[in-house]
Structure 1
Amino acid sequence: MRASVIVIDWHRPELTRRALAALEAQRGRVDLELVLVVNEARPGAAEAFAAEFPAVVVVAEARNTGFAGGVAAGAARAGGDVLVLVNNDAVPDPDFVERGLARLAAEPDLAAVAGHVVLEGAFRRVDDDRSTDDLVALGGAAWRRSDEGVELVNSTGVVVDASANGVDRDWLAPAGTASAGDDPFAFSGAAVFLRRPALESVGGFDPSLFMYYEDVDVSWRLRLAGHRVGYEPGARVVHRHAGSSSSSGQLVRYRSMRNRLVVTARNGSRRLLARVVLRTVLRLLRDLVGVPYLDGRHRRLLVLEAVPAVVRARRAGRSARRAAVVRPRDLERIWFGGHPD
C-alpha cells in the first residue's frame, strides 16, 4: 500500500518546512511519496522547496486555488493508492502515516480514516476577563494558551447537525477525554487517509469550494455511496490553529455559509436543503436589524454568487443522489441529530 501525502502551502514556507521534515522522516517506515502544492507561487518559492526537499514532488500553482483546488492539483500528480492530507501548519507524529495505513489495511470497508488532531501548545480554562484571542468550545467554555495548561483536541473528525452545520468533533476536549475510535460522519482535511479508488469514484474534491466544507462534501458523497469514514486515534498530528489562515473574518464567514448551502444542495434531501436555505435567509434578515454577521459586500456576494452555485450543485448531484446506496434522508436521520421534519 503506497501512500502519497499531499501538503498545501500558501505563503507560509516556515510552517510547510516543519511539516515536510516530519513527513520525510517517516519514509523508512512506509512506502511514501510526498507531494507539495505551492499555491500562488512567488518567484523562486517552488524552486527553494525543491532544492531543500529534492525527493518531494513540487507542484507550483500560479494562483491561489484554495485548499480544495490544491488537493485536486496534488492528487493529479500523486502516484499512491492512498492519498494522505496533512495541513502545512501541522506536525505529524513519527508513526502518523504507519498508523493510518494500518487502520485502512485492517478494515477494508473503510474509504477514509480521520487522524487525531491536537492543538499546538497548552491551554487553561478562563472563567472571566476573556480575550478575543481565547478559543471557545461549543458549550461556551473559553481556553487560553498557558505554559502550565493542558493539551486540547482540535479534531477527531467532523460531525454535522440537523441544519448541516459541520463542526470538529471533540473541539477543545482535554487530551484523554476524546472519542475512543468510533466513526465520525466526516473526516477533517487537517489529517486524513483516503483510498484513492473510493475518492475517485465519488468525483474527488470540488475545487470550486476553495476552502471550508470540502471535507464534509467528500465524506457526504462517500457515505451516500455506501462507504465508511473511520477514525484512528493513533494517527496523531499537532496543529497550529489558524497557522495558515485566519479562523475568523468576513471571508471565512462567507465561505462557510456559501459552501454549506452548496454542499447541502449537492448531497442533501429537499427538506434539509429547504431548512438550510431558510436559516440562511433568516440570518441575512437579522443582519439588517442587528449587528451584522456578514458585511454588505459579502451579503451581496452570497446572493449573487452563491444562489447560482446552489442551483448548479443541485443539478450536478441529482444522478448521485438517485443512485445512492444510502438514501439522503436516511443518512440524515442516522447522522445529523434527527431529520428536520
Structure 2
Amino acid sequence: MPLKRVAIIVIHLHGFEVTHHCLLSLQASGCTDFDVVLVDNGSSDGSGEQLEAAHPEAVVLRSEVNTGFTGGNNLGLVYALEQGYEMVLLLNNDTYVANGFLNLLVRYLDTHPETAAVQPKIYFHHDPQLLWSAGSYYNQVLGFTYTRGLNKKDQPAFQQPCAVDWISGCAMLIRTSVLRRTGLFAPNMFLYFEDVDLSFRLRKLGYRLAYVPASAIYHIAGASGKKEGQKNTVQPFVYYYNLRNRIWMLKKYSAWYLLPTVVLANGAYIFALMGYFLLRGRTPKFRAVLRAMKDGIKGQIQDPSGVSYLRVAAPHEEAGLA
C-alpha cells in the first residue's frame, strides 16, 4: 500500500511550461497526502525528460504514442489501482490549484460514502473571478450536456455543494473502489465526452456525483485543441472527436421515447455548424464534421473492460485531421 491516499494523474503532451507550473501549484497547495503520477503521452520534444528532471517528486509513466485523454489517464489509473491508492484525482495539466483544494475534496468523500466522485469549483485562469464550471448537467429531452456558471461571475447559487449529472475530467476526484466496479475510460473515445460516459456509468451503479465549491482551481482551458502560435484557432480534430463522441453518447444513453427531440435538436446543431464552415470556407473543419457524422453513426462506445489502453495511431491522425 502507498503511504499517500491520493494519486494525482496529470497528462502531458509537448511543451514544458504549462505542465511545469501546474506541478508547482500542486507543491504549493498546502496539501501533502498525494503522489503525482505524470503521464508523458507521446511527447517528442524532450519536455517529458525536462519535467522528470525538474520534478523528482513525480512518478513518470510514458506512452510511445499519443493515446488521447482516455488512454493517457487509463495508463495512470491502472498504475494507481495496482499500487493500491484509495482515491485518484484526474487533473488537467493546464490548471493551477488553490490552497487546500485537495483536502476539501477528500473530506467531502470521507463524509459522504454514497458519493463516488467530486469536482471543485473551476474558474478561468485568465480571469480568476469568471467561472468555467460550477457543476455539469444533462438535458435528456434535447440530449445536450451543459456546464452551470460558464462565463459567469460567482454568485450565491454557485456556493453550495450539490449533486451533479456528470463531472468534468478537468478535475475529478474518484474512489478507486468504484473504478474497480465500473471500469476505466472507454479507450476508443480518445478525447471529449469520456468523462460524461464514465459519470453516467457511475450513476447507473447507484452512486452520487457532487460539486464541492469550497475547493477551487483555475483552468487555462482549451490549450490542447488550438494550433501552436494561434490561440483562437481550434483544430479540425476537436470538432471530429466532439461530434463523433456526442453521437455515440446519444446512441448509448438516449431513451427511445426521447429520440425525436434528441435527433431534431442535435441534427439542427450539426447542420448549422456545417453551414457555418461552408460559408466561411473552412473546408478541413467541414470535412471533420462529415467524418464525425459517418463514424458516429456506424461506431459505438467501447466496453472498457479487458481492453488494451494503447493505440498505434489516433483516428484523427489516420484521417489527416491533425
Q: Paired residue for 1:44, among 37, 43, 46?
A: 46
Q: Is 1:82 matched up with 2:87?
A: yes
| Partner amino acid, structure 2, of 1:93 | A
For the 8 Å contact 2:14–2:45, the answer to whether it is kept is: no
2:113 paired with 1:111 = no
Mapping of residues 248-263 of structure 1, within 5 Å: 248-263=234-249
Counterpart among 173, 184, 205 of residue 204 in structure 1? 184
Q: Distance in 2 between matches of 1:107 and 1:192?
A: 16
Q: Which moved more, 1:163-172 or 1:279-288?
A: 279-288
Distance 1:119 1:41, change over 3 A: same
What do the CA deviations read for 1:287-322 (whole angstroms, capped 9, x no partner)?
676654984422431243222213x65xx59xxxxx
Query: 2:135 is matched with which residue?
Result: 157
* 1:63-115 deviation per Cα after TM superposition (whole angstroms, max 9, x unaligned): 22121221111111223220101111110112011111011001111100011
Letter in 2 for 1:171: L
Q: 1:245 aligns with which of 213, 217, 225?
A: 225
> What secondary structure, in the 3-state scheme, does the structure 1 residue paired with 2:72 have?
helix
Question: CA contact under 8 A between 2:143 and 2:266: conserved in structure 1?
Answer: no
Instruction: Give the letter aligned to residue 121 of structure 1.
Output: H
Q: Does 1:264 align with 2:250?
A: yes
- State the Cα deviation string for residues 25-57 of structure 1 (Å, max 9, x = none): 35x744211111112221533322221111211
Please report the RMSD computed on the Cα atoms of aligned residues, expressed in angstroms: 2.6
| Bigger Cα displacement from structure 2, 279-288 vs 252-261 | 279-288
Contact 1:37 1:58 in 2 (8 A): yes
Give runs of aligned pairs for residues 95-174 of structure 1, distance below 5 A.
95-122=100-127, 151-161=129-139, 162-174=141-153
Q: CA deviation at 1:273?
A: 5.0
Give distance in 2, aligned partners of 1:286 and 1:30.
49
Which residues of structure 2 form unaligned runs of 5+?
A: 227-231, 305-322
Q: Which of 293, 300, 306 is matched with 2:296 structurally?
A: 306
Letter in 2 for 1:204: L
Partner of 1:14: 17
Secondary structure at 1:226's aligned position in 2?
Answer: coil
Task: Give % identity.
Answer: 28
TM-score (norm. length: structure 1): 0.76
What does 1:310-329 align with in structure 2 at a 5 Å threshold? Answer: 310=300
Paired residue type of 2:93: N
Q: What secondary structure sits across from 1:84 in the alignment?
A: strand
Ranges in structure 1 where 5+ consecutive residues have no aligned partner: 123-149, 318-341
Residue number in structure 2 paired with 1:218: 198
Please give the secondary structure, in 2, of the residue aligned with 1:244. Answer: helix
Does residue 71 in structure 1 map to residue 57 in structure 2?
no
Residue in 2 that maps onto 1:190: 170
What residue identity is the alignment partner of 1:154?
W
Question: Displacement, 1:190?
Answer: 1.2
TM-superposition CA deviations, 1:204-258 (whole Å, max 9, x none): 2112111111111111111111100011112210111223333845332232221
Q: Aligned pairs, how many?
A: 286
In 2, Cα distance between the equivalents of 1:61 and 1:94?
31
